[in-house]
């Protein structure tokens, strides 16, 4: 295998994916994310060769962090040139999530990957847009679905995914699952 596209993420419980799936309609120009593929990205790595993928997997195995609870809250978007590009559900940021993300970033960098230049903005992608989606429809959609909240839910592991791009979007395959520890174990 010459290369693979990797990302590090938190898988979502089925009950949360079910809640998110209920949001996935009614917006012109949206390419909806398959609920089975929904996750919270801690670090997008990108395309790497097999030896580097092994280094990343090993470095992530040295990440020790406590289990925690997470809650999804709010709907928002990333825009480019004045148009929505990505529709997302936000995450109530908490110290444990920020700590885990920082440790994942440090591990990936130790494996030789360049630092992530963008600030961490935790979210779950609901849809991506082609050029046709208009602001009027978008604002109406967000207004109809706010306020949105789901959870809290337990986060007791994170995952290294291999991401395969296809005509229907990306499909994520678990490469390695890393358990989080109980709080007292993480301190040791």
Percent of the chain with pLDDT over 90: 65
Q: Which residue has the higher pLDDT, 167 or 36?
A: 36
**Alpha-carbon distances, residue 60 vs 27, 138, 155 (angstroms):** 38, 38, 16
What integer is the mean pLDDT of 21-44? 92
- Asked if 7 contacts 161 with a C-beta cutoff of 8 angstroms, the reply is yes
The pTM for the full model equals: 0.88
Assign 25 to helix, strand or coil. Answer: coil
**Alpha-carbon distances, residue 72 vs 66, 132, 140, 153, 183 (angstroms):** 19, 28, 21, 9, 22
Q: CA–CA separation, 159 vs 177, rounded Å? A: 5
Domain spans of the chain? 4-186
pLDDT in tens, 35-82: 999 999 999 999 999 999 999 999 999 999 999 999 999 998 888 777
DSSP H stretches of helix in the chain = 14-21, 50-60, 95-110, 135-145, 183-187
What integer is the mean pLDDT of 83-96? 89
Supply the pLDDT for residue 1.
41
| CATH for the stretch 4-186 | 3.90.1140.10
Q: Write out the two tokens for 114.
A: 């360049």
What integer is the mean pLDDT of 136-142? 78
Q: Which residues are catalytic?
A: 39, 123
Q: What is the largest CA-CA distance in the chain?
A: 53
Residues across the chain: 188
pLDDT for 185 beyond 60: no
Q: Where are the beta strands (DSSP E) in 38-114?
A: 39-48, 68-80, 83-91
């Amino acid at each position: 295998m010459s290369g693979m596209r990797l990302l590090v993420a938190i898988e979502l419980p089925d009950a949360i994916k079910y809640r998110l799936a209920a949001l996935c309609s009614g917006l012109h120009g949206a390419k909806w994310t398959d609920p089975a593929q929904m996750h919270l990205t801690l670090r997008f790595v990108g395309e790497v060769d097999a030896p580097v993928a092994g280094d990343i997997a090993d470095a992530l195995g040295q990440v020790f962090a406590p289990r925690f609870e997470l809650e999804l809250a709010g709907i928002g978007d990333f825009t480019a040139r004045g148009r929505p590009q990505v529709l997302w559900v936000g995450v109530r940021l908490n110290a444990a999530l920020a700590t885990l993300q920082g440790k994942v970033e440090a591990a990936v960098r130790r494996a030789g990957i360049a630092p992530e230049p963008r600030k961490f903005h935790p979210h779950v992608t609901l849809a991506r847009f082609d050029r046709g989606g208009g602001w009027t429809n978008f604002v109406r959609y967000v207004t109809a679905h706010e306020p949105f909240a789901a959870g809290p839910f337990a986060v007791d592991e994170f995952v290294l995914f291999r991401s395969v791009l296809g005509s229907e979007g990306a499909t994520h395959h678990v490469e390695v699952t890393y358990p989080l520890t109980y709080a007292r174990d993480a301190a040791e």
